[in-house]
Amino acid sequence: MRYDFDFAVLLDYWPDFLAGAWVTLQLTFLATVFGMAIGTLCAIGARGKRRWLARAIGIYVEIIRNTPFLIQIFFLYFGLASAGLRLPVFTAAVIAMVFNVAAYCSEIIRAGMDTVHPGQIEAAQSLGMSTPTIYWDVILRPAIERVYPALTGQFVLMMLSSSVASQISTEELTAVANNVQSFTFRSLETFLAIAPMYLALAALLKLSFWGIGLFAFPRRRRLGTAL
């Protein structure tokens, strides 16, 4: 059977798509910043001397990594609502994404920290560096530089999974597409149209991570070699 594609009707809705893409970007930005911060702290805690803290972080990471994001977001959003705390959907989506991505980040960063040779830390200690300096300059920065490609990939995946937030009706790109297809009855065209938008967002995200990498790791910029 023949099907006549009609993408023209979607043109009227471009401001909605743009607004949706903007919300997706905001979700991604907030989740990246907070996820990275919490992930780093978790990675430090997981390697620290306090056994109970390391165990607690381990349990948190395993729970997040072994359950679907959709269940996490439902648990958080509907759960808190039933307990009387009605979060705005945007906030709920950000919190769920931060919790989710922080767990993956902490695993990645921990793997990076494990590659730092103990001799380097001992050398830094014998030079009389303070613990925060050692953590920042000797452990974290080289560790993050090493796992930077993996982190980039993880954040791109997180941006893509922000589409799941449409299920609690956060007005991001996929939710907008859902609305548009219910007005136009052009479901296939609508979703075919947002796929390249996500591709563009993914490319934008990779590009910004590359740019941040140039800025954050001057050693690589100057020497042009991998660590």
List interacting residues with another protein (CB under 8 A).
1, 3, 62-63, 65-72, 74-75, 78-79, 81-83, 156, 160-164, 166-167, 174, 177, 181, 187-188, 191-192, 194-195, 198-199, 202-203
Closer to another protein by Cβ: residue 82 or 126 = 82
Closer to another protein by Cβ: residue 200 or 212 = 200
Q: How far is the CB of 31 from another protein (least distance, A)?
A: 15
Separation CA 51–CA 63 (nearest Å): 18
Closer to another protein by Cβ: residue 75 or 136 = 75
Which residues, 6 or more positions from 123, have their beta carbon under 8 angstroms from its beta carbon?
Answer: none
Closer to another protein by Cβ: residue 65 or 219 = 65
Q: How far is the CB of 24 from another protein (least distance, A)?
A: 10
3-state secondary structure of 48: coil
Burial (Cβ within 10 Å: 0-12, 13-18, ≥19) of residue 198: middle
Tokens of 223: 């020497």
Q: How far is the CB of 134 from another protein (least distance, A)?
A: 28
Separation CA 90–CA 92 (nearest Å): 5
